[in-house]
Amino acid sequence: MRYLLVDRIDELVEGVSAKARKNVAMTEDYLEWHFPEQPVVPGTLILEGFAQLAGWLEAASSGFARWVLLDHVTSARYFGAAVPGDRIDLVLESVATPDPARRAYRGESTVNGVRQASVEFEGRVVAVESLDSRERMERAYKTLRGEGPAAPPPKRKP
């Protein structure tokens, strides 16, 4: 992933829903061009944040065996803009789908409690190992949950 668009996963109910946040920093390079002297987070990156959160939901729900790759956007509506200094709150819920190789989601984002975006999308399920190692994904997830990396084992005296 070029951009990590989920900074913290606050809640996750396996197979059901997730809540997360993205903190917008002026140092994010896409803001330099979108738009010069009036930076706003592009709507497509908010959608990508939801797609990443869906991936984390699938990974955590499958013991880090599976991930979801977005391949169909049913609806994406934007009601406002996020700017540097804002915190985007993402709420995602899984929607039933008849195909076990696919997942569907509905999400809404807010900034300061005001609705910013509403999305519905689908994706195909892939093996985590086709993207990255399971161990690396588990460590990243723990960091996103605020658990941080595991402490190294104590050194043995020679």
Catalytically active residues are 34
Residue 89: is it exposed, middle or buried by C-beta count within 10 angstroms (0-12/13-18/19+)? middle
The beta strand positions in the chain, using DSSP E, are 8-13, 17-23, 66-78, 87-95, 102-111, 114-127
Q: How far apart are CA 46 and CA 79, in angstroms?
A: 12
Q: How many C-alpha atoms does 76 have within 13 Å on its Cβ side? A: 14
Q: Which residues on neighbouring strands pair with residue 100, listed in sequence order?
A: none
Contact in structure between 104 and 96 (CB atoms under 8 Å): yes
- Classified as helix, coil or strand, 102 is strand
